[in-house]
Amino acid sequence: MTMSGDGPAGGSQVALVTGGYDHTIKLWQAHSGVCLRTMQHPDSQVNDLEINPSGQMVAACGYQHIRMYDLASANPDPIINFDGVTKNVSRVGFQENGQWMYTGGEDCTARIWDLRAGRQFQCQRIFQVPAPVNAVVLHPDQSQIMVGGQSGIIHIWDLKTDHNEQLIPEAEASIQDIAIDPEGKLMACVNNKGNCYVWSLGGSPPRPVPKKHIQAHSKYALRCNFSLDSTMLVTTSGDCSAKVWNTKDWTLKRELRHDTQRWVWDAAFTIDSRYLFTGSSDSYARLWDLEKGTLEREYCGHQKPITALAFRDQAV
């Protein structure tokens, strides 16, 4: 992992962004642990963060809004506000070339927002489901959005036909997060019982085939994420741990714990898959060496739990 950057705010090449319950978003110099900037996120906690494909902006979603911040300037305030949503917005993500953004939330919808220049950044499409949405993820081929929520159903929204299919991995268990590996061949979800389910994806359009059930955590699971080389899956939980699984045979590679960590809300791999960032309820973000299983760095500055983080490393 190359941990250097010389441009604005330490370079948009390497950016660790964190947010949480203290109504701020912080931009960190990843290699030093120094906080470069604090951006204001008034009115609510931060539920999710996503850096856009160009690396210039970060989207943050919270209660009844989505905001966009410029990472390349010193402006502490959002430069774009998306209105017209009710309740908590749980997740946010971008189409591969940044033409549109997608979100999911407690208003029981997944939404697509037009980001093209000259538009008013309006909601372009709405996909209604019967229960609050906790997770949305776009397939790497850009053809489907997986939508999961409190009903325990994963809806596979086909963006070309507008049809949807449904998966129910476990009855009466809320889907907390969904991830698809960068190659588009594996999909995973975690639920509020601590279980992780994995499917292989094949065909066109991609269809899920059950592959593995992992009893990942003893209580509430929060997030799951694949490494960029698709060799690892991380799951995080209210059991105070992040666990890294080998996708080759689904064995446990690392269990990452710290005395004060408490709930681990989010995690992100570096692009070389050697390191993992985590954010937790003790207000710290942490950097772990996955080969050694060691804690390499702590990012201290938030006053309350860190519930979301995003990392972009274009320097490798």
Pairing label, strands 57-62, 109-114 = unpaired
- Residues in Cβ contact with 75 at an 8 Å cutoff, skipping those fewer than 6 apart: 39, 69
Residue 50 has pLDDT above 70, yes or no: yes
- Asked if 99 and 120 touch (Cβ cutoff 8 Å), the reply is no
**What percentage of the chain reaches a pLDDT higher than 70?**
93
For position 122, what pLDDT does the model report?
82
Q: Which amino acid is at 132?
A: P
DSSP 88: B
120: confidence class by pLDDT, cuts 50, 70, 90: low
Question: What spatial distance separates the first Cα and last Cα of the chain, rounded to whole Å?
Answer: 6
Please name which of 170, 139, 135, 164 lies closest in space to residue 152, comparing C-alpha atoms. Answer: 170
For residue 205, say if its preceding peptide bond is cis, omega within 30 degrees of 0: yes
- Strand, helix or coil for residue 305: coil
Residue 10 has pLDDT above 50, yes or no: no
- Asked if 280 and 256 touch (Cβ cutoff 8 Å), the reply is no
Question: Angle at the Cα of 278 (from 283 to 175), degrees rounded to 5?
Answer: 100
- Asked if 28 and 17 touch (Cβ cutoff 8 Å), the reply is yes
What does residue 301 show for φ and ψ, rounded to 5 degrees?
Answer: 170, -30
* Cross-sheet strand order for the sheet of 34-40: 34-40, 24-29, 14-20, 306-313
Tokens in use for 26?
Answer: 């912080």
259: confidence class by pLDDT, cuts 50, 70, 90: confident
> pLDDT for 121-161, tens place per residue?
788 999 999 999 999 999 999 999 999 999 999 999 999 99
For position 119, what pLDDT does the model report?
64
- Strand, helix or coil for residue 10: helix
Q: Which position has the token pair 């809300």?
A: 265
Task: List beta partners, residue 242.
Answer: 236, 256
What does residue 3 show for φ and ψ, rounded to 5 degrees?
Answer: -110, 60
Q: What is the CA radius of gyration of the chain?
A: 18
